[in-house]
Amino acid sequence: MSADTTHILAPQGPYPPGPEMLNAPVDPQWSRESGARLRAVWAQPRGLRYWSAVNNSEVGQWYAMLCFGFMLAAGVLALLMRVQLAVPGNDFLSADRFNQFFTMHGSAMMFLFAVPMFEAIAILLLPAFLGARDMPFPRLSAYGFWCFAIGGTFVFGSVFFGAAPDSGWFMYPPLATQSEGIGADIWLLGLSFIEVSSIAAAVELIVGVLKCRPPGMRINLMPLYAWYVLVVGAMILFAFPPLIAGDFLFELERSFDWPFFDPERGGDPMLWQHLFWIFGHPEVYIIFLPSIAIAAMIVPTAAGRPIVGYSWIVLSAVAVGFLSFGLWVHHMFTTGLPAISLGFFSAASEAVVIPTGVQLFAFLATLMAGRVRMSVPMLYIAGALAIFTCGGLTGIMVALVPFDRQVHDTYFIVAHLHYTLFGGMVFPVMAGVIYFYPFIRKKMMSPRLGKWAFWLVFTGFNLCFLPMHLTGLQGMPRRVYTYPDLDALNWGWLNMLSTAGAFVMAAGFAVFLWDVIRPKGRDAAAPRNPWGGGTLEWTHDVPEDPGWGVRSIPYITSRYPLWQQEGLLERMDAGGCYLGDAPEGLRETLITTVLDARPILVQRVTGPTWITLAAAGFTGGLFILPVFKLYWPALACGAGAMAAILWWLWRDTARPPEAARKPVGLGLSLPLYATGPASVGWWGMFITMLGDMTAFASLVFGFFFYWTAGDDFPLPGAGHGQPVLCGLAAACYGGGWAAMRLARGWNRGGRVGRARLARAAAPVLALAGALAMAGAVWLPGLDPASHVYPAMLWAFAVWTVVHSVPGLVMPLYCLAGSLRGKLTPAHDADLWNCTLYWHFLLITALVSAAVLGPIPRLM
Amino acid sequence: MRRAAGVLWAMLLSGPAAAARQSVIHPAGEDAALVAGLFWWLLGGAVLLWLLMNGLFLYLTRLNPVPLSRRLAEMLIIGGGVLLPTVVLAVLLGVTLQKIPMHMRPGDGLRVHVTGEEWWWRVEYWPEGADAPIVSANEIRLPAGQRTDVTLGSARVIHSFWIPALGGKLDMFPGRETRMSLLPQIPGTYRGQCAEFCGLSHALMAFEAVVMEPADFQAWLTAQAAPALPPADARAARGRAVFFAEGCGGCHAIRGTAATAGAGPDLTHLGSRTTLASATLPMTEAALAEWIADPESAKPGALMPGYGHLSGAELGDLAHYLKGLR
């Protein structure tokens, strides 16, 4: 993406820097003074205000530790379940408690550990890999973290009150839609809330990879970790929204009895299964790929040479990302689908072996081409390989339909999935913790404790899960709280072995935890590059970390700069690369172009604040209070969240800078303001709205799913959306969109008054459109509780009306900006972003209007 | 030879083969035998590939940590990552894709319709041409050597019907019928169990699957079609009186009596079944009395109310009557 001249001023000065510039000496006194200024700017707040930090290194650490905590808590639930299952007919746990425990174990491991752990590690490490000072939207990371902390505590906390969800982490209706108590609502609303933070992190990470690379780091020079983050970020963006759409329908059924999944009123429980697994299968790879990414950083270091097959690995990661969206039906092989579907999804499921195999063999090839030094992280990688290949091979088995019909929902699957997740996630993450610990804490973890932890976890794991293959083959189903003591079953001794293994494994995790948190005050500071790595994170500062990421942002011409670019480290340390100074006292990072990383902009990033915590608290209220049927307080919290976010945007984002350009070092001057596609804010909005569109597309999928699956959709004789109002709604949204487009052009052309008028018209049209949309389902007297058809029409209306609220607020925000001098003809980033939102709102509204009015009349 | 090796393995792994009645690797039907045979091949191949991959890793990191040529390394990626899996998967899919429709083959006449309830099984036998079913519950009987159609439904939530020794599982949905067929080969008593999580007592939703010689099966089915036997003795007669006084007929049917309701399991030939409460309790008078007094203690969340207010004698009489319904 080239920097469009209408969106940003052109840089001035030489680029790329020549060798003589990179070899020119740096004035030591300037180096000291600028270093002190930079240090002051990036200093983290102290005392209680520490928790107002938004810097990626703080937020990343909190995030990772909290995920680790949830993992241990969910692990304790597993131990309690293993005690219950150790002997047949045990009464250690009641059926009710056991069902809550296994539901929470799965939900927490997935939503509170595996996925957020990826986000935590990526937030913590990605800027370091890219030589960036921070993520592009630090406050978005902080907001996401606080949402996660509030939502995660709420969801997991329900276990202590015996009110936890108890229908399994997959929440199949009708069991879950009809279950009594608030457990299912906690799951739906609490985890939807957490999905918001996942999507926030995905947006942040994608923009980080695309726009925050150091000058010269073309996309084919990125560390593999960044590639994986990009792929996984995109996967989150397209995988989580179907689940959010499903949650939306599900909660409407639970709260208002709209029968989306009730077969008696035209609903279909299979729609949930599709939406859940369209999310659920990519989810597996969302967990697996980032951990492979860690291995992709450790393996070249251990081999002491660049990775072999870089392009193969990148292609494979992208291929896995794509394929993972075409496999979901293999979770549904036993639902009685036609043989042709089964065959297709069986073959697709097997196909994913190829890109996965390419990645593993590329690691082996790297080890083959280098001189391997074994280290504790490599020991964990070896363990990961041993376990993951076993899980992968059983994966090949279960992708075969006849075999899956026997072992589906048995302990064979429990074994299979734990082998893939431990080998594909837990062991690589443990390797990563040990490997990156000196980067994060400036101390080494103990090799002796590391080996103890490894052998305990590895032995315990295999003792626990290897027998489960046989338990499953001998017919033991999953999710049973007890089993009978019959000679005919003979499951007792296998279960006893598994329980014993679980406790050995737990001991290993305890050792590991101790090694992570034990006081290391007396340990020597870690060497700066203890493993001899070649990538930019090892340019970090030792023994302290001033929070600035890198002293100055380097010019990169290779994949392993520390191995391949001589003198780079010294120059970075002297502050002699880019942005080595902070004369204005503001936090800044460089923005570069997407493909070839030409520097185009100095981005002012936001600093410590409490507003993100307040926004997360209010957002929490919006999601959590409806669990207790407190709808009005929830709406008040929603308004509070919006006010907090507006305050934060107004105060600290897209403010016109004090100068058009500033010198950034090496003779280059870069602009301080960008708008449209040249700015990170536009990319953030665009990527967020792609996710939103995916959720909406899932609703549309649902509409046509009912049409193809049932013969009473649209319900014969039922009314449709009121056609005149449907047309009026479409016209209003079209008018609002046109007003925003015109306002953008007029403002840029200096016709400020006219632009303000258009911006004042857009909210009125949004309101009118929303009223017409609501009227279109209200006036014909469509009763959403009577049948899935009217319920679906109502769902489209609700979705569009809710999306009109930002569509209404945004033009007013721009109007206020224009009146207060924040938005001018030359500084119109807010207007571009809001207009971008309106593009998507228009699509949503037009499709909804078509689905309400004309389409069903044609069916 | 291969089957013998498989049986030997299975015995080594799980004790005497005769005892394993709910096992995928102790097949007694055509569909299950196919999978069991496939499994030993898959296992052998998996062990081989695992050793290859991890052996290579061990060799590269521990045994011979000297650099090899880059060209060789790139060949490893293509050979190991692309060619090897392509060949292996092509063979596997070639063998298994054509077997997918096997469990959907039409049966030889008899159809068994099973409905998943919370947490028990409603069973209807539809002999070819029948216009009304022979109703039973919590036990499936099938003739050996014949393919029987199995149609599945559910009352409220999703369950899954599975007899590991005979074939793969299939889910049971409310509002939708799924179908498969089974071809049992070896007469005997096997065990099936619900495989889709269905709520509080999912763990206690099992059943006995009895495979009989076709002639025995016909005789049994004829007996099942008959109305219930009258009470054989005075105690049974007293038990029958308790049954009606307590309103048991409000939920249960005993064909040939005034009890015709269908909310709970059909009890017409309860005493002829091998287990009670969907394979949770043995079919004894003591277990029957215990169950009737407090169903929830044996099966959490059971919908049947407890009759703990009945005296021990009344419970005993009732159990005696029900046990006599052979």
Within 8 A of A387 by CB-CB distance, chain B residues are: none
Q: Indicate the number of domains in chain A.
A: 2
Provide the number of CB pairs (under 8 Å) joining chain A to chain B: 274
Within 8 A of A419 by CB-CB distance, chain B residues are: none
Give yes or no for A410 touching B (CB within 8 A).
yes
Q: Of A688, A684, A694, which Cα lies nearest the Cα of A238?
A: A694
- Residues A808-831 as b/e (b if ≥16 CB within 10 A, e otherwise) read bbbbebbbebbeeebbeeebbbbb
pTM listed for this prediction: 0.95
Q: Of A757, A762, A707, which Cα lies nearest the Cα of A733?
A: A762
Do the domains at B1-66+99-222 and B234-323 have one common CATH topology?
yes
Beta bridge partners of B151: B113, B179
A366, A372, A408: residue with CB nearest B169: A408
- Is A482–B204 a contact, with Cβ atoms under 8 angstroms apart? yes
- Provide the shortest C-alpha distance from residue B117 to chain A (in Å): 12
Of A517, A537, A555, the domain-final residue? A517
Q: For B143-148, what is the mean pLDDT?
A: 97
Determine the structural domain holding residue A838 and report its residue range.
Answer: 711-858
Within 8 A of A306 by CB-CB distance, chain B residues are: none
The complex's ipTM works out to 0.95
- Is B81–A489 a contact, with Cβ atoms under 8 angstroms apart? no
Q: What one-character-per-residue DSSP string does B135-160 give?
A: EEESEEEEETTS-EEEEEEESSS-EE
pLDDT of residue B1: 46
Give yes or no for A742 touching B (CB within 8 A).
no
- Provide the shortest C-alpha distance from residue B319 to chain A (in Å): 23
Q: Which residues contact A32 (CB under 8 A, 6 or more apart)?
A: none
- Provide the shortest C-alpha distance from residue B110 to chain A (in Å): 20
pLDDT of residue B9: 56
Within 8 A of A382 by CB-CB distance, chain B residues are: 57-58, 61
- Provide the shortest C-alpha distance from residue A195 to chain B (in Å): 25
Instruction: Indicate the helix (H) or strand (E) that contains A465.
Output: helix A447-473
pLDDT of residue B69: 82
Peptide bond between residue B119 and the one before it cis (omega within 30 degrees of 0): yes
- Is A396–B46 a contact, with Cβ atoms under 8 angstroms apart? yes
How do the domains of chain B map onto residue ranges? 1-66+99-222, 234-323
Q: Closest chain A residue to B174 measured between Cα atoms?
A: A263
Q: Which residues of chain A have pLDDT under 70?
A: 1-5
Kindly give the residue spans of alpha helices, DSSP state H, lying in A324-375. 339-351, 353-369
pLDDT of residue B16: 46
Is A840 within a domain?
Answer: yes
Query: Which domain CATH number covers A846?
Result: 1.20.120.80
- Provide the shortest C-alpha distance from residue B41 to chain A (in Å): 10
d(CA A58, CA A712): 55
- Tell which A residues from 217 to 276 touch B, by Cβ distance under 8 Å: 263-264, 268-270
- Is A99–B15 a contact, with Cβ atoms under 8 angstroms apart? no
A95, A308, A335: residue with CB nearest B200: A95
Within 8 A of A367 by CB-CB distance, chain B residues are: 57, 60-61
Q: Of A606, A696, A763, which Cα lies nearest the Cα of A238?
A: A696
Is A773 within a domain?
Answer: yes
Within 8 A of A265 by CB-CB distance, chain B residues are: none
Give the rounded distance of the alpha carbon of A71 from its chain centre: 17
Sign of CA dihedral A172, A175, A177, A179: negative
Q: Residues A531-551: pLDDT tens digits?
A: 999 999 999 988 777 788 899
- Is A396–B42 a contact, with Cβ atoms under 8 angstroms apart? yes
- Is A402–B31 a contact, with Cβ atoms under 8 angstroms apart? yes
SS (H, E, C) B120-134: EEEEEEECCCCCCCE
At A854, the amino acid letter reads P
d(CA B315, CA B309): 9
pLDDT of residue A375: 93
Q: Which residues contact A428 (CB under 8 A, 6 or more apart)?
A: A291, A292, A294, A295, A380, A381, A384
Rg of chain B over Cα atoms, rounded to whole angstroms, equals: 26
Q: Which long-range contacts (CB under 8 A, 24 or more apart) does A749-758 make?
A: A749/A825, A750/A825, A752/A818, A752/A825, A755/A818, A756/A815, A756/A818, A756/A819
- Provide the shortest C-alpha distance from residue A362 to chain B (in Å): 5
Q: How is domain B1-66+99-222 classified at the architecture level of CATH?
A: Sandwich (2.60)
pLDDT of residue A515: 97
d(CA A709, CA A711): 7
Sign of CA dihedral A60, A65, A66, A67: positive
A178, A309, A400: residue with CB nearest B74: A309
Q: Closest chain B residue to A382 measured between Cα atoms?
A: B57
pLDDT band (50, 70, 90) for residue B19: low
Q: Residues B42-80: pLDDT tens digits?
A: 999 999 999 999 999 999 888 876 777 878 888 999 999
Q: Residues B78-129: pLDDT tens digits?
A: 999 999 999 999 999 998 999 888 899 999 999 999 999 999 999 999 999 9
Q: Residues A40-90: pLDDT tens digits?
A: 999 989 999 999 999 999 999 999 999 999 999 999 999 999 999 999 999
At A775, the amino acid letter reads G
d(CA A645, CA A611): 8
Query: Which domain CATH number covers A104?
Result: 1.20.210.10
Within 8 A of A309 by CB-CB distance, chain B residues are: 73-74, 77
Within 8 A of B301 by CB-CB distance, chain A residues are: 95
- Is B22–A489 a contact, with Cβ atoms under 8 angstroms apart? yes
Q: Closest chain B residue to A299 measured between Cα atoms?
A: B61
Is A783 within a domain?
Answer: yes
Q: What is the topology classification, in CATH, of domain B234-323?
A: Immunoglobulin-like (2.60.40)
Q: Closest chain A residue to B93 measured between Cα atoms?
A: A347
Give yes or no for A367 touching B (CB within 8 A).
yes
Of A485, A517, A549, the domain-final residue? A517
Is A460 within a domain?
Answer: yes
- Tell which A residues from 147 to 206 touch B, by Cβ distance under 8 Å: 167-168, 172, 174-175, 178-179
Q: Of A608, A607, A617, A440, which Cα lies nearest the Cα of A61?
A: A440
- Residue in the structure block whose two tokens are 């205000």: A49
Residue to mutate among B100, B177, B274, with most A CBs inside 10 A, is: B100
